[in-house]
Amino acid sequence: MSEENAKTEALALIEVSVSEDKQQGFIKLGKNEDGDTVFTKEELLAALKAEKIASGIIDSTIEKLAQRPIFNIRIKVAEATAPIDGNDGVVNLLVKKDADYKPEYSEDETVDYKNLDYFQMVKKGQVLCEITKETVGIDGIDLYGQVIPARKGRKPQIPVGKNTSLIEDDSKLVADCDGIIKFINTINIDEMMHIRSNIDFSTGNIHFPGDVTIDGDVSSGFSVKAGGNLIIKGVVEDAKIEAAGNVVIAKGIYGGSSGNVIVGKDLRCNYIENAILHVDGDITVDYIIDGKITCNGNIYLSGSKELIVGGEIQLKGELVARVIGNEREYPTVIHILGERIVDQAEIDRLKITEEAARQQFQEINEKEAQINGLLLAQEKKDMINRNRNSAAMEQIATLKKQIDRQALLIKREIEEIEKAIIYVEKKGSTSYYGSVSVKRKLYRGTRIYFGDLLFQFEFDSLEHCKIYWDNDDIVNGMM
């Protein structure tokens, strides 16, 4: 047998197959009739080449099969190079989102007024998050030499915001200035004014559009106005304070004769004495003495005293204290503010009807002005023709009477709609969603109002009670 014929016969006994995913190649060797079949490495490689398998060939297996063939069994002789997918980018946050950040509490689970970590404060250059970039991956190669693309890693969502910058090849996000973090989806730094002394004659009054931190007191007669949050590490004494955001005062507020505090969000301080306050959010404080307070949120007494004595408090939400009033029945007044509930849908419908009637009334007035012009012109024409009661004059006069009658009817309709709107508004009811909860004692001398209705009790004091509104009446429940 010629060498060429022997080679052809050998190739015929080499069966090449590929897995369904085309990731692995196999050889299955058959025997000739004499049973003394041998294969060279070149013949095995030629069989693979005939099936266009050009990549991933396992040379060591091919050599072993040439030296010691294994018959009638599929042997893996080639394997594709699998792609290595890229890694997704990762952002390791070193600060908390606003929703996850809470004020500190002491061991007895009351608010720690001395701990001012109520806001996340940062210094210029402070690292806010560390970024691991995505990788592109490594492409693979299939048995036929074709590229198997690797999946690229997803880019990380870097929370770049106001007053922040990327450094070190975009691997770190840092603060561009001293300030307070506002972090929801992006990290924003609100620039902060830091006063490292008292507010007095050395500083004058402060008016700053962002956040303000004061290391000392706000002295009598001075004022501080902040467009953001305000932190005062001392006491506010007979001073004017105004902040659009949250306010934290480490010690407390003494109002004096001219002090006034206006807070756009929440207030947290140790005490309030003889002070006038308007707070749109919640108030958290240890004790209140002779305060004149309006609060659109809740008032929580938390600390060693949890006491309210004297003054007048108006609030929409919940008031929770340990003790309200004292044994001497010192006058203490609490007003729970109500919310007026009316049939707004009916009012809106009436107002739409009223607007349509007023538009119609305006159109009639315009027509009436035109008719008056026609009357005047016809009078002049009749005078020239010495015809005082012309048919045209009578026709115009009749038309004017019709227009005047329509105007009168529309005017009456508008008046009736206005009366209906007033009736619906008066028919509305007032609901009181706020309440007064007392953990220990509520003393006589404390007057609690829901609107004009006064809560009354005959005993010297009540204990563990919750005063709230239900079914158009004041209810005294137990805590």
* Confidence at 50, pLDDT banded by 50, 70, 90: confident
> What tokens appear for 221 in the block?
């007669």
Residue 74 has pLDDT above 70, yes or no: yes
Which two tokens mark 209? 């559009």
pLDDT of 388 reads 59
> pLDDT for 323-351, tens place per residue?
999 999 899 999 999 887 788 888 899 99
DSSP conformation letters of 369-387: HHHHHHHHHHHHHHHHHT-
Angle (CA) 331-335-341 rounded to 5° is 165
- Model confidence at 389, pLDDT cuts 50, 70, 90, reads low
pLDDT at 88 over 90: yes
Q: What is the per-residue DSSP string for 142-170?
A: -TTS-EEPPPPPPPP---B-TTEEEETTT
The pLDDT of residue 191 is 80
Please report where in the chains the tokens 């004495």 appear, as a residue: 273
Highest mean pLDDT among 119-133, 224-238, 388-402: 224-238
Q: Is the pLDDT of residue 116 over 70?
A: no
Kind and range of the H or E run holding 439: strand 435-443
Query: What pLDDT is stored for residue 109 in this prediction?
Result: 61
Mean pLDDT of the region 74-99: 90
Residue-level pLDDT at 182: 83
Query: What one-character-per-residue DSSP string does 440-466 give?
Result: EEEETTEEEEETTEEE---SSEEEEEE
Closest to 295 (Cα-Cα) out of 309, 311, 316:
316
Residue 320, helix vs strand vs coil: strand
Q: How far apart are CA 463 and CA 465, in angstroms?
A: 6
Query: Can you count the helices (H) and strands (E) in the chain?
Result: 5, 35
Q: How far apart are CA 377 and CA 329, in angstroms?
A: 83
Q: What average pLDDT is seen over the chain? A: 87
Provide DSSP, 95-149: S--GGG----B-TTSSB-TT--TTS-EE-TT-EEEEEEPP---B-EE-TTS-EEP
State the average pLDDT over residues 401-409: 88
> Closest Cα to residue 183, out of 100, 103, 117?
100
Quote the CA–CA distance of 27 and 17 in Å, as a whole number. Answer: 7
Could you tell me what percent of the chain has a pLDDT over 70?
Answer: 91
According to the model, what pLDDT value does residue 1 have?
Answer: 46
Q: What average pLDDT does the segment 305-328 reach?
A: 95
Q: Which of 102-116, 148-162, 273-287, 390-404 has the lowest mean pLDDT?
A: 102-116
Per-residue pLDDT for 70 more than 50? Answer: yes
Instruction: Judge whether 317 and 127 are in contact, CB under 8 Å.
Output: no
* pLDDT, mean of residues 307-316: 96
Neighbour count for residue 269 (Cβ, 10 Å): 24
% of residues, the chain, pLDDT over 90: 53
Q: Identify the helix (H) or strand (E) that includes residue 34.
A: none
What's the mean pLDDT in 124-149? 92
**Strands, E assignment, 307-423:** 307-315, 318-324, 332-336, 339-341
pLDDT digits (tens, 9 = 90+) for 177-218: 888 888 888 999 888 888 889 999 888 898 888 889 999 999
The answer to whether residue 171 scores a pLDDT higher than 90 is yes
237 with 221: CB under 8 angstroms?
A: no
Alpha-helical runs (H) found in 222-317: none
Q: What is the pLDDT of residues 409-464, one digit of tens each?
A: 999 999 999 999 988 888 777 889 999 999 999 999 999 999 889 998 878 889 99
**pLDDT computed for residue 404 by the predictor:** 86
pLDDT at 394: 76
pTM exceeds 0.85: no
